[in-house]
Amino acid sequence: MELLPAIEMDSPNGAAVNASIIWLHGLGADGSDFAPLVPQLSLPDIFGVRFIFPHAPSIPVSINNGFVMPAWYDIKEMDIDRHVDEEQLQQSAAAVHALIDREIERGVDSSRIIVAGFSQGGAVSFEAGLTYPKPLAGIMALSTYFATADSIKINPIQSGMPILVCHGSMDPVVAEALGKKSLATLKNLGFEPEYNSYPMEHSLCPQQIVDIADWIGRTLS
């Protein structure tokens, strides 16, 4: 499989890379969307994190009148259950698997690889992280929903995986009810995710960045 194009940012000060975070953007954005957050996280050099921000392919999106834009999958309806193209979502998850494989080939142990995603990217991060055949460090799901909850085939090797779910209480794009539904689904599946809610819309806020850095630090320690 041809690898997705991506922005890469290695740990500053020449620290040896020993962990990777693959971070997926949301609908209509690209890999540059979250790259500016890396310095704000202020992660210690000892973690040696390589950040990878892939770009989604451009495809027609039904909810936007078929307009072609960067998207991990098509969204057919914007109702509470989000009718999505699961085959396209699974293809995007397979593309993330290929990026994970490449990180392992570059010397990063799978148990030190985090899959993160915002909105659409978060839905792909659930599918990609929970189905990967080697143990991963964790999943970070931001302002998102568990689109494949009813069809996913979770790999038992991911049992006990750390998962961080964050959502805005005033999100007009992906209602917080969907974040809480993801939380409940994960608990029913035997996971113990952390959940943080913030007084914000469909975005990130300063306290969330602090909490993300704390979770990454605990997860990679």
pLDDT of residue 45: 82
* Dihedral angle sign, alpha carbons of residues 70, 54, 77, 201: negative
Whole-number pLDDT of residue 167: 98
Asked if 119 is an active-site residue, the reply is: yes
CB neighbour burial string for 145-162, b if at least 16 within 10 angstroms, e if fewer: bbbbbeebebbeebeebb
- Number of domains making up the chain: 1
Active-site hit among 30, 33, 74, 171 = 171
* Phi, psi at 195, each rounded to 5°: -130, 130
What pLDDT score does 81 carry? 61
Q: Is residue 47 part of a domain?
A: yes
- pLDDT tens sequence across 40-88: 999 988 889 999 999 999 999 999 999 999 999 999 887 656 689 999 9
Spacing of C-alpha 129 from chain mean position: 8
Range of the domain at 44: 6-220
pLDDT score at 12: 65
* Residue 1 resides in a domain: no
Asked if residues 143 and 34 have their Cβ atoms less than 8 Å apart, the reply is no
Q: Is 202 a catalytic residue?
A: yes
pLDDT at position 80: 56
CATH number at residue 168: 3.40.50.1820
Catalytic-labelled residue, pool 10, 62, 109, 202: 202
pLDDT at 184: 97
Is residue 11 among the annotated active site residues? no
Contact 117, 144 (CB under 8 A): yes
Whether 113 is in a domain gets the answer: yes
**Parts of the chain with a pLDDT under 70:** 12-14, 79-82
Where does residue 93 rank: exposed (0-12), middle (13-18), buried (19+ CB within 10 A)? buried
The predicted pLDDT at position 13 comes to 63
